[in-house]
Amino acid sequence: MKKRKLIIGSRGSELALWQADFVKKQLEKSDKNLEVEIKIIRTKGDKILNKSLSKIGDKGLFTKELENELFKGSIDIAVHSLKDLQTELPEGLILAAVTKRHPVEDVLIARKKKTTIDSLREGAVVATGSLRRKAQLLHLRPDIKIVDLRGNVPTRINKFLESDWDAIILARAGVERLNLKKYISSYISVDEILPAVGQGALGIEVKEDNYDAIEILESIHDFDTYVETAAERSLLKALEGGCQVPIGAYAKKESNGLYLDAVVASLDGTITFRKKARGSSANPEALGKTLAKDLLRAGARKILSDIKSNG
């Protein structure tokens, strides 16, 4: 019998290709009659490397070109890091599957093993391009100096090794997927720094009428991760935050309900609003919305509007 074929669209970075290949293997394992091909698509975010992400600030910076290919039908599915996927998808596209998530937290990469945020020297220099990491780190350690850092995961580690910075912060998921665990000095607990919405999970985007692809993807969909990230994404949407605002969130499904922990911080980290709530796993969107409203009322509204008006 002739094999069925599915084409994955992926960015060309090492991490994106690892992730696309992971999805390919899982799908081929679950359906022996399926042949999966990976097609590399360059996105605007891959082309502009000299500007800080918060300054480019486009919606869909890492996704738009992939979405165009989905509409054209030259790829069947687009594999994204869920945290890079905007909360509102273009009309006609759906988030068809969310994979089981890797440990969600960020990690500290410093000169010595076991270095933690607490043990960094007074006035240490830490490089990160993420406003979320910057704000939460400054909240814990106002003495730290932050410098901008961009590039793919291996590039960032190489820049660190060649620099005189004290440390950088990355997502555990990206570092461990690329087998770069040896560079990790310590795991940063979510009590110290909340991860980005969707961090550690993969999101698979498909044209809403591609029923074959939607059916094939059922085998890699992880329901608990979906419920957790749906609460986080609903919160982010209600806060009207893209990936470039200092917002962190972490949801966990437990036997007695769904927990959501979220923070909105000012850019300099002096003010943070952090709240936790529990809701029903049957309605993750409601939990996200409710917690967003709570945060906005508590003072996050002012922080977010200040950031929007001053850039």
Ligand X SMILES: NCc1[nH]cc(CCC(=O)O)c1CC(=O)O
Question: Active-site residue numbers?
Answer: 84
Binding residues for ligand X restricted to 145-164, rule: CB under 6 A = 153
Selected binder of ligand X within 199, 234, 244, 272 (CB under 6 A): 199
Q: Does position 225 bind ligand X by CB under 6 A?
A: no
Least spacing, CB of residue 9 vs ligand X, in Å: 16
Q: Take residue 88 and report the two structure tokens written for it.
A: 């509102």
Q: Does position 261 bind ligand X by CB under 6 A?
A: no
Q: Take residue 216 and report the two structure tokens written for it.
A: 């094939």
CA dihedral 293, 85, 172, 201 (to 10 degrees): 90
Q: Look at phi and psi of residue 239 and say left if phi exceeds 0, alpha if psi is from -120 to 50, else beta.
A: alpha
Instruction: Write the interaction track for ligand X spanning residues 164-183; mark x where CB under 6 A is met and - where it is not.
Output: ------xx-xx---------
- Distance (Å, rounded) from C-alpha 113 to C-alpha 182? 9
Q: 3-state class of 271 per DSSP?
A: coil
Residue 199 or 281 having the CB closest to ligand X? 199
In angstroms, the Cα distances linking 68 to 63, 122, 204 are 9, 48, 15
Q: Take residue 169 and report the two structure tokens written for it.
A: 């912060």
In angstroms, the Cα distances linking 56 to 17, 132, 206, 222 are 24, 16, 26, 33
75, burial (CB in 10 Å: exposed 0-12, middle 13-18, buried 19+): buried
Directed axis angle between helix 153-161 and helix 14-30, to 10°?
140
Least spacing, CB of residue 33 vs ligand X, in Å: 30
Least spacing, CB of residue 15 vs ligand X, in Å: 6
Backbone phi, psi, residue 53, to 5°: -60, -35
Least spacing, CB of residue 98 vs ligand X, in Å: 11
Residue 203 or 279 having the CB closest to ligand X? 203
Residue 7 or 180 having the CB closest to ligand X? 180
Question: Residue with CB nearest ligand X?
Answer: 174
Binding residues for ligand X restricted to 26-85, rule: CB under 6 A = 81, 83-84
Least spacing, CB of residue 5 vs ligand X, in Å: 27
How many residues bind to ligand X according to rule CB under 6 A?
10
Selected binder of ligand X within 36, 120, 139, 200 (CB under 6 A): 200
Residue 173 or 264 having the CB closest to ligand X? 173
| Site residues for ligand X per CB under 6 A | 81, 83-84, 153, 170-171, 173-174, 199-200
